[in-house]
Amino acid sequence: MTSTVTEAPARQVLPAEERYAEELAFLAAYDSGPRPPGWALTPKAAVTFICGSGDEPLSLPEPVKGVPGELTVAPKFVGERSLVERCVVTLAGERGLLLVGEPGTAKSMLSELLAAAVSGTSALTVQGTAGTTEDAFRYGWNYALLLAQGPTPQALVPSPVLTAMRSGRVARVEEITRCLPEVQDALVSILSDRRLSVPELAGTDEATLSAVPGFTVIATANLRDRGVSEMSAALKRRFNFETVAPIADAAAETELIRRQATAAVERAGAPFSVDDAVLDTLVTVFRDLRSGRSAEGWDVERPSTVMSTAEAVQVAASLAISTAYLSAGEPLDLVPGHLLGVVRKDDAADHARLLGYWDGPVRRRAEDGSATWRRLWDLRETVR
């Protein structure tokens, strides 16, 4: 039997508004209260979308077609609710929001979730790089049309920022500090005047494009990149800064890593088989090296790499995939090799710092009689 129906190919990653389409539709129906212009959800529902609804399922006041009557909204960002509330309030006031922090603290994730909750799309995104030009914030031209017709509104190719202005949505600028300062400054007039002039279209209605209510910008910046300090004062003033810190609570971090690694391993077609003792150990090492202090209060020399939660998720997933596909032995035995891969990136001295961690906390815990740490200590040769 032949079929002419072609299925859309599976996609590796779905944008937040598609992955969580059911939750977003539910929350829009659940909280029908007043909302800022252009918003898909009320500010309160936007916070619930990101932080979760707790253990109790929420129930719709009355049935709505195509929406489940009851739903528990999963928590997505692990961290202070008050931070998420401030972000939402900033956007409700149509202020720019700048999320700063170490790499891997979920700044991009938070920006995507906020844009999906507020505007129903996280796709209006500019990825900042050293090669980003002003066009990425303003507009470009379709050169074939430009040659054929001259500068007409049809020949203008809007940037994601311009599309957001015209439709009253949130535009995202990732890694804004990687853009050259003069390119960043294209945002100053957009955020202050809320309009964009197109000199090529002078004399037409489209010579000035004005933002529709709802338009604002969420930018992210990594503290490890060339600094936020290099942003112009004019641009800084147009943003509310929020610092996203690594997850404070060890149990919450472990839980998140288990959840996300399980999902990643399922995508690879394998079960998540890493037991709690191994996961706890992994998280302990990451947190000790990240903070420069062990859970017991011993000093630890910090490597120059970040030891982010995101990388811990990847290591946990790799352990499970190795065990499932390569029968590579005990997951714990693979931990030192993966740690070396995470730590040894930029600075040769980081390798020595990891060895120092072995000769300090790992050894002391082994001497205290813990079987897991004893085994890691026995594997010291593998980090040499």
Ligand X SMILES: Nc1ncnc2c1ncn2[C@@H]1O[C@H](COP(=O)(O)OP(=O)(O)O)[C@@H](O)[C@H]1O
DSSP percent split of the chain into helix, strand, coil, nearest 5: 50, 10, 40
Taking the complex as a whole, the smallest distance from the CB of residue 15 to ligand X amounts, in Å, to 13
Q: Which is nearer to Mg ion, 48 or 108 (CB)?
A: 108
- Stretch near ligand X under the rule CB under 6 A, chosen from 11-19, 96-104, 134-142, 376-384: 96-104
Considering only the stretches 63-71, 97-105, 198-206, 325-333, report the one whose residues sit in contact with ligand X under the rule CB under 6 A. 97-105
119's contact among Mg ion, ligand X, none, with CB below 5 to 8 A by partner kind, is none
* Separation in Å, CA 259 to CA 13, 49, 313, 349: 17, 18, 9, 33
Site string for Mg ion, 105-144 (x = CB under 5 A): ---x------------------------------------
Q: Which of residues 288-327 bind ligand X (CB under 6 A)?
A: 309-310, 313
Q: Which is nearer to Mg ion, 108 or 159 (CB)?
A: 108
Q: How far apart are CA 141 and CA 218, in angstroms?
A: 25
Helix pair 43-51, 107-119: axis angle to 10 deg: 140
Among 106, 218, 231, 362, binds ligand X (CB under 6 A): 106
Give the closest residue to 22 by CA, choosing from 71, 89, 93, 62: 71
Using CA atoms of 7, 8, 14, 17 in order, give the dihedral in degrees to the nearest 10.
-90
> Mask: binding to Mg ion, 89-108, rule CB under 5 A, as x and -?
-------------------x
Among Mg ion, ligand X, none, residue 136 binds (CB under 5-8 Å by kind): none
Binding to ligand X (CB under 6 A) within 150-209 occurs at none
Residues 6+ apart with CB under 8 A from 119: 38, 39, 40, 164, 168, 169, 170, 214
CB of 220 to ligand X, least distance (A): 6
User: DSSP character for 125?
Assistant: E
End-to-end CA distance of the chain: 60
260: partner contacted, choices ligand X, Mg ion, none (Cβ within 5-8 A by kind): ligand X
Residues that bind ligand X (CB under 6 A): 77-79, 101, 103-109, 220, 247, 256, 260, 309-310, 313
Q: Which residues bind Mg ion (CB under 5 A)?
A: 108
